[in-house]
Amino acid sequence: MKMNNRKNLKTYGKLIAILIFTMATSGLLAQEVLTIEKALQYAESGSPDLKRTLLNRERYQKSLEAQRAALKSQFSLDVTPIEYSNTRRFDQRVSEWYTNESLSPNATFRIQQPILPTDGTISLINKFGWQNSNSETTAGLTESKIFSNNLYLMLSQPIFTYNRTKVELKQLELNLENADISYAMQRLNLERTVTQYFYNVYLAQENLSIARSELENTQKSHDIIKNKVDAGLAAKEELYQAELNLATSESSFQNSEVSLENAKDQLKLYLGMDLYSNVTVLADISSRAIDVNLDVAIENGLNSRMELRQREIDIENGMFSMLQVKAQNEFVGDVNLSFGITGDNEKLNNIFDNITKNPQVSVSFSIPLWDWGEKKARIASQEATNKTYELSLDEEKRGIIIDIRQTVRNLQNQLKQIEIAQQNQTNAQLTYDINLERYENGDLTGMDLNLYQVQLSQSKVSLAEARINYKLELLNLKIQSLYDFEKKEPIIPSELYLNDK
């Protein structure tokens, strides 16, 4: 019986071991390795900021499509199935009151075509109906039942004013272009933000690796001094200091673990990933110096930066706003021409037997007389606004030059910082190795050795930070100049959004 229990226990133990191993293996397999390219793909499909920009762009695009569709022929049919009235009226021709009762269903078919070059409208209209009307007067009762049809062509043309249809269409086109630019800029900013979050995780991983290495070294030095104390070769005070150093290293390691998980959560949140997914990042932060030409960066930035086009769009919109301001209380005219035929008969088949031509012409003018200076003040206000747009364009150009200059200087400085950090790490490693040997020989206290260990860890972190800062500044220069100095090619802004149209 005891043998069976032991066998069962061994079997259960093996099963538990296999289960634990399977869970651990599946956890490793479920871990997703992110590169910067893959992180950007996640962000482009899952970033809330980019989705909002895309929705705004779609809104302007659909508005433009609607406006262009409105320039095509519009077909409409108005139907009045029944219209009944019974009214008491006064006939001025014979100075007599009469009662009129009328029943008249009718329909109107209309084809309306806007004329974009002139901002006019040409319409073909056909009105068809039937009327049953009777009137009661002192002379007796008269009754009429008749079909009628009125077919005519009408032209309406405003004169002495600007083309409102063209202006509205151009403004919608500028709005869509501005939305496209905003989307392209959002994608560039997305790359900047994703890269920052990505390298935050990478640096947290490096800090954890450094903290682990520090913990291993501290554990090693703790074991050395413990063996010496046990052998009576060192004072217990040294062991107390070693235990304190070990506890500090364990705390630093745990803090690094927490910082890494927090950085991962921030990255997953911004990328729109599942917050419960397990990720790790893989990056190349080698500090290969990139040849950067300041003149090329500035020239390409001034020729390609999308902010400049946005300022130009502001200026164009300001000019359109000036047209609209000047059109307030303006001298304007309207010309209306129509020509058609009208037929009526009691029988539907004979409705066009006796037709009547009905040409009409009208010319009207709206003449402002006095507006108490309103128009002049509004024009002056808009002129000031337009000058502000022009100043903004000039200021944007100057800002681009300054930003690119500063970024290039920062790149050069970061290369120097990398050289210094590499030398500091080499010196710190050699110093630690030498003093570890002194510590093993009893010529150095545990407190002093811990200082060298901290110095080594800080030098490793500083080197990783310097390399990451160089990568970030290189990306910043790419965004500032719209030129990729790693690939030696300019970035075409339209390519950032044309693929999604």
Per residue in 312-364, pLDDT (tens digit) is: 999 999 999 999 888 888 889 999 999 999 988 888 888 888 888 889 999 99
323 lies in some domain: no
Residues 137, 242 within the same domain: no
**Dist. CA 270–CA 255, nearest whole Å:** 23
| pLDDT tens digits, one per residue of 458-495 | 888 888 888 888 988 988 999 889 888 888 888 876 66
Predicted model pTM: 0.71
Residues in the chain: 501
Mean pLDDT of 43-56: 80
| Residue 457 clears pLDDT 60, i.e. is over it | yes
Residues 176, 252 within the same domain: yes
Closest CA to 344 of 129, 131, 147, 150: 147
Residues 179, 105 within the same domain: no
| Residue 153 clears pLDDT 80, i.e. is over it | yes
| pLDDT tens digits, one per residue of 393-443 | 999 999 999 999 999 999 999 999 999 999 999 999 999 889 888 877 877
Residues 469, 453 within the same domain: yes
Identify the pLDDT of residue 133: 86
Identify the pLDDT of residue 496: 62
Identify the pLDDT of residue 168: 92
Identify the pLDDT of residue 494: 63
| Residue 6 clears pLDDT 50, i.e. is over it | no
Residues 194, 81 within the same domain: no
397 lies in some domain: yes
377 lies in some domain: no
Could you please report the per-residue DSSP string of 424-447? HHHHHHHHHHHHHHHHHTTSS-HH
DSSP H helix total and E strand total for the chain: 9, 13
326 lies in some domain: no
Residue 422 is encoded by which pair of tokens?
A: 């590499």
Mean pLDDT of 356-373: 88
| pLDDT tens digits, one per residue of 202-256 | 989 988 988 898 888 888 888 888 888 888 777 788 888 888 888 988 998 999 9
Residues 82, 143 within the same domain: yes
Q: Check if the beta carbon of residue 191 is closer than 8 Å to that of residue 475.
A: yes
Residues 230, 351 within the same domain: no
pLDDT above 90 as % of the chain: 34
Residues 295, 424 within the same domain: yes
Identify the pLDDT of residue 10: 44
Residues 248, 298 within the same domain: yes
Identify the pLDDT of residue 287: 63
Identify the pLDDT of residue 166: 92
Residues 157, 177 within the same domain: no
11 lies in some domain: no
Closest CA to 388 of 313, 318, 306: 318
* Mean pLDDT computed over every residue of the chain: 85
Identify the pLDDT of residue 337: 93
| Residue 75 clears pLDDT 90, i.e. is over it | yes
| Residue 11 clears pLDDT 80, i.e. is over it | no
| pLDDT tens digits, one per residue of 288-304 | 788 889 999 999 999 88
Residues 260, 140 within the same domain: no
3-class secondary-structure state, position 322: helix
Mean pLDDT of 177-182: 87
495: containing domain:
28-59+169-317+383-500
Closest CA to 284 of 468, 463, 421, 459: 468
| Residue 114 clears pLDDT 80, i.e. is over it | yes
**Range in 5-14, 76-85, 260-269, 378-387 with the lowest mean pLDDT:** 5-14
253 lies in some domain: yes
Instruction: Give residue for tokens 């808009």.
Output: 382
Band (pLDDT 50/70/90 cuts) for residue 371 is confident
Q: What is the CATH number of the domain that holds 310?
A: 1.20.1600.10
Identify the pLDDT of residue 187: 84
310 lies in some domain: yes
Residue 278 is encoded by which pair of tokens?
A: 């397990």
Band (pLDDT 50/70/90 cuts) for residue 4 is very low
15 lies in some domain: no
**Dist. CA 100–CA 88, nearest whole Å:** 6
- Give buried/exposed letters for 259-287 (b at 16+ CB in 10 A, else e): bbeebbeebbebbbbeeeeebebebebeb
| Residue 501 clears pLDDT 60, i.e. is over it | no
Containing 190, the helix (H) or strand (E) segment is helix 164-230
Residues 199, 280 within the same domain: yes
How many domains does one find in the chain?
2
Q: How many CB atoms lie within 10 A of CB 304?
A: 16
Mean pLDDT of 144-164: 91
